[in-house]
Amino acid sequence: MRKTAGIITRSALAACACLLIFSCGSVKNYMDAEGPSLCGSYSEQCPDPCDTIKVVSYNIKFGERIEEAREEIRRQEVLRNPDIVLLQEMDGAGVKSIAREGKFNFVYFPASLHGKHDKDFGNAILSRWPIRDEQKIILPHEQPISKQLRIATAATVVIDTTSIRVYSVHTETSWLGIDERIEQMDSILASVPAEFEHVVIGGDFNTVSAGTIRRVERRFTDAGFTRASRGVDYTAAEGPFGLLELDLDHIFVKGFRVMSAGTGEKTEVSDHLPLWLILSME
């Protein structure tokens, strides 16, 4: 059951501490907008065209338990056979492993070499459909302590005759002020090409408080997007015994009708729950 607003408000600072401890290590940022990058194709053939698509977004904590994450995606019916997968906190080896297992095409950009585990740390887009025109978007503002930068990975997924601009996002945690974090989201919105009628922007937005969620949602709504994951229960559990339930992960869409949405089961793979949507192209 979701905790009351009062409990969340009183516990926000503790939650931030639990969420952000890892960010204090030193990092090496990848400042080149062209890379490093990793792309590949394991899809054997395009699926048959259909009226709806499934999108899954998942922050797999530091990409550490990939074999279990693969099994989780395969086992849970709500996650099975997605058309588009958005991954965060990944390294290249983990992305390739999931793509190979699921027979996906993929593109991956790391934001940095993370000091906590000395591995690349970034975002990926996977799809059973063709992927092209990949792009790395370096978000403004460093994390104040570690100086880590965040990115969004963008690409075009071509489903039958429809081109969808897709973004896998991981914005900064609450160590960064809300105004600066909104500017990170503004940089993503500014990068969306005007010619695209269908857009999916999803991932880990690190929205700890209800006020932050409202402000983020308003920004996307003003840009013509719908918060497709609105109404889904918490996507991360933090604090002692995982009692603090947080809505950190979101998916915003343009040009789609939301058919259904939810989260996968809680496992030991990550402190986040996988978020899924069924979308109909309008």
* Residues forming a β-bridge with 57: 86, 275
Q: CA–CA separation, 150 vs 187, rounded Å?
A: 12
> What is the pLDDT at residue 268?
82
Q: Cis before residue 140, ω within 30 degrees of 0?
A: no
Whether 203 and 57 have beta carbons less than 8 Å apart is answered as: yes
> What is the pLDDT at residue 242?
63
CA distances from 259 to 25, 166, 214, 233, 279 (A): 41, 19, 22, 16, 6
> What is the pLDDT at residue 11?
44
Could you state, in order of their start, the residue ranges of all structural domains in the chain?
Answer: 5-281
Residue in 256, 248, 262, 250 with CA at minimum distance from that of residue 280: 256
CATH architecture for segment(s) 5-281: 4-Layer Sandwich (3.60)
> What is the pLDDT at residue 10?
40
> What is the pLDDT at residue 244?
83
Q: What is the token pair recorded at 194?
A: 């005007």
Whether 83 and 51 have beta carbons less than 8 Å apart is answered as: no
Q: What is the pLDDT along the chain (282 residues), one digit of tens a residue?
A: 444 344 444 444 444 444 444 444 578 999 999 999 999 999 988 888 888 999 999 999 988 899 999 888 888 999 999 999 999 999 999 999 999 999 999 999 999 998 677 899 999 999 999 999 999 999 999 999 989 999 999 999 999 999 999 999 999 998 999 999 999 999 999 999 999 999 999 999 999 999 999 999 999 999 999 999 999 989 997 755 567 889 999 999 999 999 999 999 988 889 999 999 999 987
- CA 196 to chain CA centroid, Å, is 20
> What is the pLDDT at residue 234?
93
> What is the pLDDT at residue 2?
47
pLDDT tens by residue, 62-111: 888 999 998 888 889 999 999 999 999 999 999 999 999 999 999 999 99
Report the predicted TM-score, pTM, of the whole model to 2 decimal places.
Answer: 0.90
Whether 246 and 27 have beta carbons less than 8 Å apart is answered as: no
84, exposed or middle or buried, with CB in 10 Å at 0-12, 13-18, 19+? buried
DSSP, residue by residue, the chain: -PPPHHHHHHHHHHHHHHHHGGGGS--EE---TT-S-EEEE---SPPPP-SEEEEEEEE-GGG--HHHHHHHHHH-GGGSS-SEEEEEEE-HHHHHHHHHHHT-EEEEEEEEEETTTTEEEEEEEEESS-EEEEEEEEPSS--TTT----EEEEEEEEETTEEEEEEEEE---TTS-HHHHHHHHHHHHHTS-TT-SEEEEEEE----SHHHHHHHHHHHHHTT-EETTTT---SEEESGGG-EEE--EEEEEESEEEEEEEE----SS-SB--EEEEEEE-
